[in-house]
Amino acid sequence: MRLAGEQPLLEQTLDRLDGLIPPQNRYLITIPEQAPIVRDIARGKAVGIIIEPMGRNNLFPMALTTRLIAERDPEAVIAFLPADHSLAQPEKLRAALDLASRVAMKGYIVTLGIPTRHPEPNYGHVRKGEEVRGFENAAFPVYNVMTFREKPPLEIAEEFHSSEEWYWNSGIFIYSASTMLDLISREQPGLYETVTNLAPTLTKTESSLTRPVIDWETEETIAEAYKTLPAKYRTSIDYALMEKADKVATIPVDMGWNDLGGFNAVADLMEPVDDDGNRIAPAKSEDEPRVLLRGCKNVSVFPGRQAVVCLDCEDLIVVDTPDAVLVLPRDSSRSVRDVVDEIKNRGWTDLL
């Protein structure tokens, strides 16, 4: 998706790694519905395009891919990056990843911390402790992590924002394969057993820059593991591992980071069209979008073919699509995924 700039977000994520992580050391993880698009975007830019049988959050694919890479090199340092981020200063990311790889070689799991810009209950947070010794003269400070707090209530997020000890958790993790597998074996032994049993199948399929697809959907043992995966493993790295890890470091870096997980975050990338903070996204067609905002403040409109008129509105997001209109307060942006689940439950699949 082209939500920030001319390139799809995935292509931007890959290009940020140029000069630091070569294509032959890059793996992508996706699902069958997105695999053809991912393959076209990433051709020649990754050695492996791993197709999951189905989405199971990020813990299970992370564990499997870490095991896959460990078979190549047990001490390999892995950077785990989501593909839905925008960055204004990618050179800072490369510098931070270079430093993080050296910290990871000391047995740490490293996360990049983002200075908070406002209270945000939809982000994970990390609390820094003492500086990690040996990196005092590095490009960025390196701190031990005292606490992980995933998606705190608004009043707690406000406290975190007013403190200099707390950062947003970027969701970018750096670690050695052996360190992560040791953590999984200690904190999630059932998951470790599953991953270990699947190791021969994981390494059976060879990939290359010209033939990068690794289709786990067609591997019976892996596909079955996905289907029967216990609910407690269908979760994120943050909940399952990071809140329990004891040797974690964070590197705070202000690199113009945005997690584009909701319309609110995307709206923040758009320039206001007036002094009242109203924003209008570019139209998907060549026609000028017909949007009229009268007496409005901080309203963001994603126009479609219909005219959109808002009168005396404040702090709203309006999204016009060919078959539905979405209207919500800016602070409710992350609730859209719950609405999608409700639409599925009602059988309104034509809207999806």
How would DSSP label each residue in 244-298? Answer: T-SSEEEEE--S-EEE-SSHHHHHHTSPPSSTT--EEPPPSSSSPP-EEEES-BS
Paired tokens of 248:
């974690």
pLDDT band at 4 (very low <50, low <70, confident <90, very high): confident
Q: Is the pLDDT of residue 334 over 90?
A: no
d(CA 215, CA 224): 13
Answer for the pair 288, 152: CB distance below 8 angstroms, yes or no.
no
Rounded mean pLDDT, 93-112: 97
Give SS3 for 178: helix
Q: Is the pLDDT of residue 333 over 80?
A: no
Provide the percentage of residues in the chain whose pLDDT is more than 90: 74
Identify the residue whose tokens are 């010794």. Answer: 133
pLDDT band at 2 (very low <50, low <70, confident <90, very high): confident
The strand ranges marked E within 283-335 are: 291-294, 300-302, 308-311, 316-320, 325-329
Q: Is the pLDDT of residue 80 over 90?
A: yes
> Phi-psi region for residue 295, left (φ > 0), alpha (ψ -120 to 50) or beta?
left
Answer for the pair 322, 304: CB distance below 8 angstroms, yes or no.
yes
d(CA 71, CA 87): 32
Q: Could you give all domains of the chain from N- to C-terminal order, each with its CATH number? A: 9-260 (3.90.550.10), 264-351 (no CATH)
Answer for the pair 277, 255: CB distance below 8 angstroms, yes or no.
no
Q: Is the pLDDT of residue 3 over 80?
A: no
Paired tokens of 64:
């499997």
- pTM > 0.85: yes or no: yes
Rounded mean pLDDT, 122-137: 94
CA distance from start to end of the chain: 16
135-156 pLDDT tens trace = 999 999 999 999 999 888 989 9
Identify the residue whose tokens are 């990690």. Answer: 132
216-264 pLDDT tens trace = 999 999 999 999 999 999 999 988 998 889 899 999 999 999 888 778 8
Give SS3 for 259: strand
d(CA 183, CA 338): 32
* pLDDT of amino acid 286: 67
d(CA 197, CA 190): 11
Q: Is the pLDDT of residue 129 over 70?
A: yes
The strand ranges marked E within 216-349 are: 248-252, 257-259, 279-280, 291-294, 300-302, 308-311, 316-320, 325-329
Q: Is the pLDDT of residue 295 over 70?
A: yes
Q: Is the pLDDT of residue 284 over 80?
A: no
Sheet-wide strand order for 316-320: 279-280, 300-302, 316-320, 325-329
163-205 pLDDT tens trace = 999 999 999 999 999 999 999 999 999 999 999 999 999 998 8
Residue 120 buriedness (CB in 10 A; 0-12 / 13-18 / 19+): buried
Average pLDDT, the chain: 92
* pLDDT of amino acid 305: 87
Q: Is the pLDDT of residue 287 over 80?
A: no
